[in-house]
Amino acid sequence: MPEDEIRSLITDEHRALVGVQGEPATVTVREADAHRLRDLCGDDDPRYADGTGIAPPYVISSLGNASRRESPNILPGGLMTQQEWKFTRPFRIGEELTAISQISDIRERLGGRYGYSILITTTTNYYDAEHNHVAAVMMTLTQFDPAGAGETE
Amino acid sequence: MTQRYFEDVVIDEELEPLERIPTVELAGGFSPGQESIMGNRFTDAAVNREIGIRGALVPGPLKIAWLTKYVSDWAGVGAEIASIRVALRRPDVAGKPLILSGRVVDKRISDGVPLVELEVVTLADGQPSVRANVQVRMPARA
């Protein structure tokens, strides 16, 4: 389809979501998740051994994204294309954290592997009981129409 | 696991490449929190045919975790990962080996903290599938 025939699917309603914080959600750094991911990675780092009370940084992938339910589904296909993890301090097994999420950006892209696509970036910050920052995740989900996607082996 | 110190890190130093094989079992075990947005693309190759991918997808967090551990092992237990920022450039499919490699691109003191920055990648068939920048808080000898 010629570019001049493509209309933006991003509406003012979508743009209004950018920067609006979701309701705080409580998440727990679960020992089972920490040990499962550590073992899957074959991680023998003594800092994360049983009994240390410290979880490996990648346990952040199990904490969840409280804002996900607020992200608009504009196109039917979706793949994560960018992600950033930031760590202010190590995770402690069993600690409860407050997750505060927001949509940081919504933009569109023409061309490339997925054709016309929508990029939605969400940011989730995690705070401990003393309101100290512990970590953050920024994730960009690329939404696309599978009918316009190329093929990858 | 060797401990590296800030003073000993050299810009352009290369990390020893490491091969990892993302099996379907690993992919499934690393993605239980993502079914709601990703369906069963990490365990069922047939689901991915509609988006032109021939195989079960390797979850991004698994590759990010491997890169995090790769750099962490290089730095030693006295160092801490401060951040990792990745671009998932191409989908990877389970069963295909990935080569992790990287190099040091910067070192500096920031607000009194010794920081080292590395560029790391996963290579599938010699092509980068994930590119990442990793910042590490390093211990100093002084």
Using 50 as the pLDDT threshold, list the residues of chain A that sit under it: 1, 67, 151-153
pLDDT of res. A148: 67
User: For the segment B84-101, what is each residue's pLDDT rounded down to a tens digit?
Assistant: 999 999 889 989 999 999
What is the C-alpha separation between B101 and B126, in angstroms, rounded? 11
Closest to B52 (Cβ–Cβ): which among A58, A86, A151? A151
Total number of domains in chain A: 1
> Positive or negative CA dihedral for A67, B131, A76, B55?
negative
Instruction: Tell me how far the alpha carbon of residue A18 is from its chain's centroid.
Output: 15
Residues of B in contact with A80 (CB under 8 A): 38, 60, 88
What is the C-alpha separation between A68 and B36, in angstroms, rounded? 9
Cβ contact, residue pair B90, A152, below 8 Å? yes
CB B49 within 8 A of CB B105: no
How would residue B47 be classed by pLDDT, with cut points 50, 70 and 90? low
What is the C-alpha separation between B125 and B96, in angstroms, rounded? 8
For B69, nearest residue in chain A (alpha carbons): A43
pLDDT of res. A47: 97
A5 found inside a domain: no
Cβ contact, residue pair A79, B26, below 8 Å? no
For B60, nearest residue in chain A (alpha carbons): A80
Which residues span the domain enclosing A69?
A: 11-29+64-148
User: For the segment B13-26, what is each residue's pLDDT rounded down to a tens digit?
Assistant: 999 999 999 988 88
pLDDT of res. A113: 75
A105 found inside a domain: yes
Of B122, B119, A40, nearest in space to B136 by CA: B119
- Kindly report the CATH number assigned to the domain that includes residue A131: 3.10.129.10
pTM over 0.95? The answer is no
What is the C-alpha separation between B90 and A81, in angstroms, rounded? 8
Angle at A30 between CA A27 and CA A33, to 5 degrees: 115
Cβ contact, residue pair B81, A57, below 8 Å? yes
A38 found inside a domain: no
How would residue B45 be classed by pLDDT, with cut points 50, 70 and 90? low
A41/chain B closest Cα distance in angstroms: 7
In residues, how long is chain A?
153
For A81, nearest residue in chain B (alpha carbons): B88
**Interface contact A76, partner B, CB < 8 A:** no
Which residue ranges make up each domain of chain B? 11-22+57-137
Closest to A58 (Cβ–Cβ): which among B52, B61, B77? B61
In three-state form (DSSP H/G/I as H, E/B as E, the rest C), the secondary structure along B55-103 is CCECCHHHHHHHHHHHHHHHHCCCCEEEEEEEEECCCCECCCCEEEEEE
Residues B109-114 have a mean pLDDT of 96
A109 found inside a domain: yes
User: For the segment A97-130, what is each residue's pLDDT rounded down to a tens digit?
Assistant: 999 999 999 999 987 777 889 999 999 999 999 9
What is the C-alpha separation between A85 and A62, in angstroms, rounded? 12
For the B11-22+57-137 domain, the top CATH level (class) is alpha beta
A4 found inside a domain: no
Closest to B26 (Cβ–Cβ): which among A40, A45, A85? A40
With b for 16 or more beta-carbon neighbours within 10 A and e for fewer, the B84-116 pattern comes to: bbbbbbebbbbeeebebbbebeebeeeeeebbb
